[in-house]
Amino acid sequence: MRAAYFKEHGGADKILYGDYPDPAPAAGEVVVRVRACALNHVDMLLLDGRFPPPRVRACALNHVDMLLLDGRFPPP
């Protein structure tokens, strides 16, 4: 997949865009295809190192997506 991501903290110049490993869903997880996204102040705080690092360092909390893979997500 292609993604905007970062490998080190810093400013907007640290945002990379390119190939990123495809995720595989575990039990209770799903994979979605992001069609569009926006970066916001929280993304920039993560990039700057002001929040604890997320599990996955792909950017964008606000996005439009489509379900791709289902890791046998149990019904509620």
DSSP single-letter state for residue 25 = -
Decide: 16 and 46 in contact? Cβ < 8 Å: no
How many domains would you assign to the chain?
A: 1
**What range does the domain containing 60 cover?**
2-70
pLDDT digits (tens, 9 = 90+) for 12-70: 899 899 998 988 888 877 777 777 777 778 788 888 888 766 555 555 555 555 555 55
CB atoms within 10 A of CB 23: 16
Q: Is residue 65 part of a domain?
A: yes
| 76 inside domain | no
Instruction: Specify if 34 maps to a domain.
Output: yes
SS3 content of the chain, % helix, strand, coil (to 5): 15, 35, 50
pTM of the model: 0.58
16-19 and 2-5 strand pairing: antiparallel
- Say if 38 falls within a structural domain: yes
In a domain, 31, yes or no: yes
Domain membership flag for residue 13: yes
